Amino acid sequence: MAAKRKKGARARKPVPFINRELSWLDFNHRVLEEARDASVPLLERLKFLAITASNLDEFFMVRVGGLHWLKRQGRTPRDPSGMTPTRQLDQIGRYARKMILDQYACFLDELEPALHEARIRRVPMNGLDAEQLKYVERTFDELIYPVVTPVAVDPGEPFPVLQALSLHLAVALPPAARDAKGRGAERRMAIVTVPQNLARFMTVPCKDGHEFVLLEDVLEAFMGRLFPGELIEETAVFRITRNADMQVREDEAPDLLSGMEDILEQRRTSSCVRLEIAKGASSQMHAYLQKALGVEGTMLVRVPGPLDLSAYMGLATMSGFDEYKSEEWPPQLMPDLAPPESMFDVLTNRDVLLYHPFDSFEPVVRLIEEAADDPGVLAIKQILYRTSADSPIVAALARAAQKRKQVTVIVELKARFDEARNIEWARALESSGVQVIYGIRGLKTHAKVCIIIRREPSGIRRYIHFGTGNYNERTARLYTDVSFMTSDEDYGADAATFFNTITGYGQATDFRKIDMAPTELRARLLECIDGEIARCAEGQKGHIMAKFNSLVDPELIEALYRASQAGVKVELNVRGICCLRPGVRGLSENISVVSIVDRFLEHSRILYFRHGGDPLYFISSADLMTRNLDRRIELLVPVEDADARARLHHIVKTCLKDNVKGRELREDRVYHRRKPPGRAKAIRSQEVFYQEARAAVKEMETDRRKVFKPHRPAG
């Protein structure tokens, strides 16, 4: 029961900022809600659960790792919500433990029984029939035994360096010697690492469906064969998470590439920020591993089921069992953007705005591939932040350089967890003759832009692609992002100036249309917000709509609070972290925030300002976070084409109306899932966009069948 406030006492003024870390955990909980939603197909639910586990791994590596570093350094800066690192770690620890319990309740009580009914069964070792046991034993002898290597842990020697996020088994053996009374030294310990190059889910023969055993269960069952003649007192499966929040000192590294390689090496041995251990392990085993790995008690997690639920993504995406998966929503390719239409011809006549993954990413890839092979193309300049393993865009850039075109690529080596891949791409591109720049000193290059310079009969023309997402054709099927392609002269001049500025010791300059972080982007956004405030003061309507992934920056949040207090209507679609507290009387009652979690990851950044009835529309590579605005190279791109503006408006409005997958943030930091009121129409924004994309393709194909084009003789 809440304590009564004393008569005459003032109500405590709410803190205007929500803690960033707790807001992120709230987002991961929204993803977990999808895993617990019985209306979602079973294997899609399993996929969402795996995503929450993977998300939590990265959160501990980066965010918790950074807070631990501050705490060890004795630094006590308060975040905008007023919390010190120690207090944040305490609250994170409690929240994360509760989330892990919720994850395993979802898995053990809901998903695994449902999987069993769907004939997808995890079989314990003592549940195998004779044929299955024989198969597993043979597989152990022929495949597993030759690969695993037990490592003895000597009490006086350093603990072995263990790979983060891998599964390991701690094996306890009896003491080597005992005295006359049967007492001896501490029991001996060894570590067996579960091989990552073997399947975690070992399929076993069965009459119907799909049955499997976990690789760690097989190792535990046959552990005696790894220690012949020894009594195995205890085995325990465990997993560690290491701090990955470290950055290269660019002023000290001989070059950025070698500096990034050093960072990757440091991550192998950095401090442990979390220890997960199977629930059945003894308290003695807990104490031993905690001390050996230097893990604080608050970051010791007793796991009530199989460790590393992120691995279940492989099970969720296995072939077959389509009745337990969502209906395919393949990206749609508009006929007027498909071969044999040339992307150069298309962009000469009009601007193109695509909304992925509902619209295919293929036109973007084809634009770059055409540029690689077109004899009129003189140069290509592009930024690569994250790419796929076998990227056709990277292959096209290499081919263009081999054909003696001038190709310049900024490969951002500091793209977290993609550093190794980007180092490989950088070296491969260099060997093909591409001029590679390893990012910009002191900043992370996060802008998404490509410029193609082509000689045509009318002169030099520049073709430009601006995007909100990466040049990655695989994630373009999983993330919602905007592509804007144009040959407009002003955009072309801006793109050329942008590249020359960041690659050639250039000074920040005024652009014709675009704005760039860290120089002008923040000021431009504040100017647009202040413009809405000024118009409200003059009696006009003020309206802001925006869609992005994260809202963290205190200055922009305070500007939005001022807008709300001035009467500006502010509607925000924020997928993940939101440190703004909406709906607070006298502060933010004119601000609403909705988050959408659905089958595709919401990733696009779109902004709208009413601007006195002459609206401004922008797309951006940047989220509204201090790091994006002050420590990254980002772009804010105005969209002026009438059709493109209308579509951006429709995208944002539809997302704001989502009453199926939308959750509304209230002032108490709690997200409430929306439901269609009464008999109102259910609006699931992602389904709306997919059906619209299909309808547009069908309509264009119908129209094309009404147009007859005769073949004419050449000459």
Q: How far is CA 288 from the centre of its chain?
A: 35
The torsion angle over the Cα atoms of residues 219, 224, 230 and 233, rounded to 10 degrees, is 50
The neighbouring-strand residues paired with 634 are: 517
The two tokens of residue 5 are 């406030």
Q: Name the residue among 74, 76, 50, 62 with its Cα closest to residue 24.
A: 62
d(CA 84, CA 77): 6
The two tokens of residue 341 are 């239409």
Strand ranges, E, within 374-508: 377-384, 406-411, 435-437, 444-445, 449-456, 459-467, 479-486
Runs of H (alpha helix) within 184-233: 215-221, 223-226
- List, as one string, the DSSP characters of 541-557: --EEEEEES-B--HHHH
Runs of H (alpha helix) within 477-549: 489-503, 521-537
d(CA 511, CA 152): 63
- List, as one string, the DSSP characters of 635-673: EEEE---HHHHHHHHHHHHHHHH--SSEEEE-TTS-EEE
Total length of the chain: 715
74: helix, coil or strand? coil
Q: Name the residue among 349, 347, 408 with its Cα closest to residue 380.
A: 408
Q: Name the residue among 415, 410, 462, 466 with its Cα closest to residue 439.
A: 410
Contact assessment for residue 192 and residue 150, using Cβ atoms and an 8 Å cutoff: yes
The torsion angle over the Cα atoms of residues 423, 428, 430 and 435, rounded to 10 degrees, is -80
- Which helix or strand (DSSP H or E) is residue 203 part of? strand 201-204
Q: Residue by residue, what is the 3-state secondary structure of 665-693?
A: ECCCCCEEECCCCCCCCCCCHHHHHHHHH
d(CA 484, CA 355): 9
Contact assessment for residue 384 and residue 407, using Cβ atoms and an 8 Å cutoff: no
Which backbone phi and psi does 108 adopt, to 5 degrees? -75, -35
Task: Label the pairing between strands 632-638 and 515-517.
Answer: antiparallel
Task: Label the pairing between strands 671-673 and 662-665.
Answer: antiparallel
Whether 446 is a known active-site residue: answer yes
Which backbone phi and psi does 52 adopt, to 5 degrees? -60, -40
Runs of H (alpha helix) within 140-282: 215-221, 223-226, 256-269
d(CA 695, CA 477): 19
**Which member of 68, 356, 446, 465 is catalytic?**
446
Report helix, strand and coil shares of the chain as percent, to nearest 5. Answer: 40, 20, 40
115: helix, coil or strand? helix
Catalytic residues: 446
